[in-house]
Chain A
Amino acid sequence: MNSALFLEVCEDSALVLLALAVVFALARLIKGPGLADRIVALDLLTTLAISLIGVTAMRVGVSLLVDIAVALCLVGFVSTVALARFLLLRQPELPARPGRDDSTRPPVSRTVRND
């Protein structure tokens, strides 16, 4: 086996493994019980996209794609920080707020109480 063929087989195998990884990360993104799990899955998907762009840059021989991978690195970091801030600062769920619990109290009594 010559070295170019070896590299090509390695690129193909890496693409298959990374595609499998993307499927698993999407499963966690859909399943994830909370917002934090979904942010973790999105962060991991960004890292996987960087790997996929790297493999594609080798495969098609366009070195400009490496710049895109570095830029995606930066955007991924900023987006994870922004999502973490959002997780910290967002309002709690509506049913958990006092006075807004419509399930246990009939709406008529609430309007009477508000008046």
Chain B
Amino acid sequence: MLELTNYISGVFLIVGAIFSLTATIGVLRFPDVYTRLHAAAKAGPVGAGFVLLAVAIAALDPATALRAIIGILFLILTAPVAAHLLARAAYLVGVAPDTLTKINDLENERLSAG
């Protein structure tokens, strides 16, 4: 039993670290704010969530596991809200999307809400 939890949490740790690294490479290489936010706000919480899940599995202690799972839930709840607020604020102050962007549903929004 102890061996199994060690293996599972080790694999989850590696998966989480790889997701975090992928998110950061996306933030470093994508062309504009919105695509960078897309990478940071999706892959980032998944990576941290996998790491916290590994902590919860390896802890073998219900209190610690519960706290780690509460952390995962909070991360999943807050990351999209923060990313949405940040993207909307960036658009409203006039940060231009990349020229490769094809669909822009907020095109008429900037003047009315600025």
Contacts and interface: CB of A to CB of B under 8 A. Distances in A.
Interface of A: 2-4, 6-7, 9-11, 13-15, 17-18, 20-22, 24-25, 27-28, 34, 36-37, 39-41, 43-44, 47-48, 50-51, 54-55, 57-58, 63, 66-67, 69-70, 73-74, 76-77, 80-81, 83-85, 87-88
A58 B86 contact: no
B110 interface: no
Interface in B76-107: 78-79, 81-83, 85-86, 88-90, 92-93, 95
B7 A6 contact: yes
A74 B74 CA distance: 8
Contacts of B89: 36, 84-85, 87-88
B2 A3 contact: yes
Interface of B: 2-4, 6-7, 9-11, 13-14, 16-18, 20-21, 23-25, 27-28, 33, 36-37, 40-41, 44-45, 47-48, 51-52, 54-55, 58-59, 61, 63-64, 67-68, 70-71, 74-75, 78-79, 81-83, 85-86, 88-90, 92-93, 95
6 contacts: A13-B17, A48-B44, A50-B71, A77-B79, A84-B82, A87-B89
Contact of A81 (B18, B40, B85): B85
Nearest to A20: B21
Interface of A is mostly: helix
A84 B85 contact: yes
Contact of A47 (B2, B20, B25, B54): B20
Across the A-B interface, the 5 shortest Cβ-Cβ residue pairs: A10-B10, A3-B6, A17-B17, A14-B17, A77-B78
A36 B95 CA distance: 8
A24 B25 contact: yes
A40 B93 CA distance: 15
A90 to B, nearest CB: 8
